[in-house]
Chains A and B, each alone.
Chain A
């Protein structure tokens, strides 16, 4: 007995020492903790990060690619805004990507990236992201990390409750934030109620090549639709959208849209509506929206205007749509990995509401309704309630899940991330953010299989966190280790634009498929030349087409004569390299456009309209070899009507002579 007691005592002492070490780490902000935090985010030179983080640029309109845990920025993928560095929206090939029913739009507000899924798990094929301002959904191909498709969303405005995917990427959704008159027309604003509609758009995604197509649009009551998430597992087949402004106010919304004690989460049985539509349901209506597709074979985008859309009126599909009362203007609408709980982050509420999917089905089955809104049944709050997290913080915004039974919610007003337990609804831990956190991200957090190692919190305000840069300072992201019971702040790094929302994925699911070059033999660009011998200059009227090649480190041709003031000169430039990481650039003096940055095997085009007589140089802009500084050429520009013939040479020889 004594021995047992002794050994127990010894054990207790040892464990006390051990746990005190752990606790010491949590308590202290400096010293030993900073050391271990630094180690956890240190990715040694030449080593790779464990995760990709795709962080939207908010008002930058782009999508940034960071590594986690290091926080290193690898690429800014141009999506909705022109980018002179990559010639996106400047070269002839990508201009059609930014076409809309309003014409060429050079900017947007990019918000919610979401990675494609198969069977409820991340498959790493594409990232989808929404443009808020002129409603669009873009698709980024994760073999090339380029935007390859943009579809405009008609009858929509402030495309905000977007662009989230269903379990098998059957659909990506786009919900309108602002309701607008449907159909759009000249009418008094004060006649909002009943005349304005909120369109929820379901865009089908081709399982093979990812081509997007608007399958149907549900014309909902004129509320504001804020965020959404898909059901999964047992709730697969449903989609949930938060609403606010169920008051249908059209002015001073900060007061007038905060009147109702509860707004709604709209629960949409999309499988039921899909079946209805497949059986001929819905109304075909005239419309006008752009569908822009970029091809890796032609290295060019095309823009097609679509003229018809299928509209679904909710009251025509009974049993497909219900309203779940949810306290106070809910923002985030998040579904846990099992698909049972739907979390409404009521941003003006004191509590966090979790609806139960099972109870929701039972209430629907029992027809326990609490009235209706525009023909859509409203369920009773008490009947569907799964649980409430009491007094978790101020201003809940967004919840993600670690796959181990815990949820993490951001609180904008109290600037913190709060960890709580699903089922018991108890708060486990809270950690401050610096400052005013918006969304947060756990890799795979919006799927059946989260990778619960880190959470990334994205902050709107940084004030004193970095050395100042004038009135405008960077926004930031903060990385927390969530492998222990308590969260640990590891890293704080600046971001591009507004880091509004993010999606993360293990690097191993993507990096092996990352494309290294474009094969020259597969290049089907209209103006490609695949050998130097074929490079040429062709005049048609006042258009001059230069079919140019580039390889380390010269252009062919590099001496061109016979161009005249007033000509429209097209440089169609093909990079003949077939090796990894050997792009070339080209820029022409006085060209009212950006440089081109051309990947191996790719063709791009810029236009130059020379305005002055002379001999004008062009050069390679991307440091390509030891002889990069020698990579240059000249174009002779003669007066309009000059009789200088078109000639083009390399090393004094006419091109074509082998």
Chain B
């Protein structure tokens, strides 16, 4: 009789410990991430997450910028304006606020960016509408970047 009770108690303990183990893991993981988020990021050094690792910019190539402008009108303008906050942020002067790699990665890999990149996460929190993936190629994103370089901040 005593033995039976002992076994039962042992099993309960086992089950309980399994459950609490799992929960503990979850709890300990979350605060760590929060700490990371609070770390200051220099937007002009952050290259973002995605296929674009390093871009070297030369003089503005107007032909590329023109192609970028056409692409922008077709794929981006429903949510972004030059000088006006719309669904997403205004884009004038964006190349002075973000690295070229970050901009292209945000165009090409928005799902991962808004989930994992601190700056993009902050933008999502502010604008609520997640950046849409418009399935541009890397070359097309490069043209759009060139177009952005021609946009001046309104004084």
Assess whether A579 is in contact with B133, with CB atoms less than 8 Å apart: yes
Contacts of A533 in B (CB 8 A): 73, 77
Assess whether A578 is in contact with B129, with CB atoms less than 8 Å apart: no
Known: A530-B74, A658-B77, A658-B82. A579 touches B135 (CB 8 A): yes
A47-55, A438-446, A551-559: which one contacts chain B? A551-559
Contacts of B87 in A (CB 8 A): 551-554
Chain B nearest CB: distance from A370 CB in Å? 66
| Interface 1/0 per residue, B60-80 and A, CB below 8 Å | 000000000000011101110
Q: Which residue of A lies closest to B124 (CB)?
A: A626
Assess whether B77 is in contact with A532, with CB atoms less than 8 Å apart: yes
Known: A530-B74, A532-B77, A658-B77. A551 touches B132 (CB 8 A): yes
Q: How far is the CA of A377 from the CA of B133 in the complex (A)?
A: 66
Q: Which residue of B lies closest to A550 (CB)?
A: B78
- Tell me if B128 is interfacial: C-beta within 8 Å of chain A: yes
Assess whether B129 is in contact with A531, with CB atoms less than 8 Å apart: no
Partner of A531, one of B74, B81, B82, B133: B74
- Tell me if B17 is interfacial: C-beta within 8 Å of chain A: no
Assess whether B77 is in contact with A552, with CB atoms less than 8 Å apart: no
Chain B nearest CB: distance from A49 CB in Å? 25
Q: How far is the CA of A575 from the CA of B23 in the complex (A)?
A: 43
Partner of B134, one of A554, A579, A651: A579
Contacts of A317 in B (CB 8 A): none
Assess whether A532 is in contact with B86, with CB atoms less than 8 Å apart: no
Chain B nearest CB: distance from A384 CB in Å? 59
Q: How far is the CA of A466 from the CA of B128 in the complex (A)?
A: 44
Contacts of B133 in A (CB 8 A): 578-579
Assess whether A517 is in contact with B132, with CB atoms less than 8 Å apart: no
Q: How far is the CA of A484 from the CA of B30 in the complex (A)?
A: 49
Assess whether A582 is in contact with B74, with CB atoms less than 8 Å apart: no
Q: How far is the CA of A553 from the CA of B79 in the complex (A)?
A: 9
| Interface 1/0 per residue, A511-533 and B, CB below 8 Å | 00000010011000000001111
Known: A556-B78, A658-B81. A578 touches B135 (CB 8 A): yes
- Tell me if B93 is interfacial: C-beta within 8 Å of chain A: no
Partner of B132, one of A549, A556, A582, A658: A582
Q: How far is the CA of A606 from the CA of B128 in the complex (A)?
A: 30
Assess whether B128 is in contact with A651, with CB atoms less than 8 Å apart: no
Contacts of B129 in A (CB 8 A): 552-553, 625-627
Number of A-B contacts (CB under 8 A): 54
Q: How far is the CA of A626 from the CA of B133 in the complex (A)?
A: 16
Contacts of B132 in A (CB 8 A): 551-552, 577-579, 582
Chain B nearest CB: distance from A552 CB in Å? 6
Assess whether B78 is in contact with A551, with CB atoms less than 8 Å apart: yes
- Tell me if A597 is interfacial: C-beta within 8 Å of chain B: no
Chain B nearest CB: distance from A2 CB in Å? 47
Q: Which residue of A lies closest to B75 (CB)?
A: A578
Assess whether B134 is in contact with A578, with CB atoms less than 8 Å apart: yes
Assess whether A651 is in contact with B86, with CB atoms less than 8 Å apart: yes
Looking at B74, B86, B128, B130, which has the most chain A CB atoms within 10 Å of its CB? B74
Which residues of chain B from 99 to 137 have a CB within 8 Å of any chain A CB?
Answer: 128-130, 132-135
- Tell me if A576 is interfacial: C-beta within 8 Å of chain B: yes
Q: How far is the CA of A31 from the CA of B134 in the complex (A)?
A: 52
Q: How far is the CA of A579 from the CA of B79 in the complex (A)?
A: 15
| Interface 1/0 per residue, A637-658 and B, CB below 8 Å | 0000000000000010000001
Contacts of B81 in A (CB 8 A): 658
Q: How far is the CA of A514 from the CA of B73 in the complex (A)?
A: 29
Looking at A533, A551, A579, which has the most chain B CB atoms within 10 Å of its CB? A551
Assess whether A531 is in contact with B79, with CB atoms less than 8 Å apart: no
Chain B nearest CB: distance from A582 CB in Å? 7
Partner of A532, one of B78, B128, B130, B134: B78
Contacts of A658 in B (CB 8 A): 73, 77, 81-82
Known: A554-B87, A627-B129. A531 touches B134 (CB 8 A): no
Q: How far is the CA of A532 from the CA of B74 in the complex (A)?
A: 8
Q: How far is the CA of A521 from the CA of B73 in the complex (A)?
A: 12
Q: How far is the CA of A577 from the CA of B74 in the complex (A)?
A: 11
Assess whether B74 is in contact with A625, with CB atoms less than 8 Å apart: no
Q: How far is the CA of A651 from the CA of B87 in the complex (A)?
A: 11
Contacts of B77 in A (CB 8 A): 531-533, 658
Which residues of chain A from 532 to 590 have a CB within 8 Å of any chain B CB?
Answer: 532-533, 549, 551-554, 556, 576-579, 582
Contacts of B134 in A (CB 8 A): 577-579
Contacts of A549 in B (CB 8 A): 78
Which residues of chain A from 117 to 166 have a CB within 8 Å of any chain B CB?
Answer: none
Which residues of chain A from 608 to 629 have a CB within 8 Å of any chain B CB?
Answer: 625-627
Q: How far is the CA of A517 from the CA of B133 in the complex (A)?
A: 12
Q: Which residue of A lies closest to B135 (CB)?
A: A578
Looking at B77, B82, B130, B135, which has the most chain A CB atoms within 10 Å of its CB? B135
Q: Which residue of B lies closest to A520 (CB)?
A: B74
Q: How far is the CA of A553 from the CA of B127 in the complex (A)?
A: 12
Chain B nearest CB: distance from A518 CB in Å? 11
Q: Which residue of B lies closest to A651 (CB)?
A: B86
Assess whether A627 is in contact with B128, with CB atoms less than 8 Å apart: yes
Q: How far is the CA of A551 from the CA of B105 in the complex (A)?
A: 21
Which residues of chain B from 24 to 76 have a CB within 8 Å of any chain A CB?
Answer: 73-75
Contacts of B75 in A (CB 8 A): 520, 576, 578
Contacts of A626 in B (CB 8 A): 128-130
Contacts of B74 in A (CB 8 A): 520-521, 530-531
A-B contact pairs, 6 of them (CB 8 A): A531-B73, A531-B78, A549-B78, A554-B87, A578-B133, A627-B129
20 other A-B residue contacts (CB within 8 Å) besides A551-B87, A579-B133, A651-B86? A517-B135, A532-B77, A533-B73, A551-B79, A552-B87, A552-B130, A552-B132, A553-B87, A553-B129, A554-B78, A554-B87, A577-B132, A577-B134, A578-B135, A579-B135, A625-B130, A626-B128, A626-B129, A627-B128, A658-B82
Please report A residues at the B interface, Cβ cutoff 8 Å. Answer: 517, 520-521, 530-533, 549, 551-554, 556, 576-579, 582, 625-627, 651, 658
Please provide the 9 A-B residue pairs with the shortest distance between their CB atoms, ordered closest to farther. A579-B133, A578-B135, A551-B78, A578-B134, A532-B78, A531-B73, A576-B78, A627-B129, A626-B128
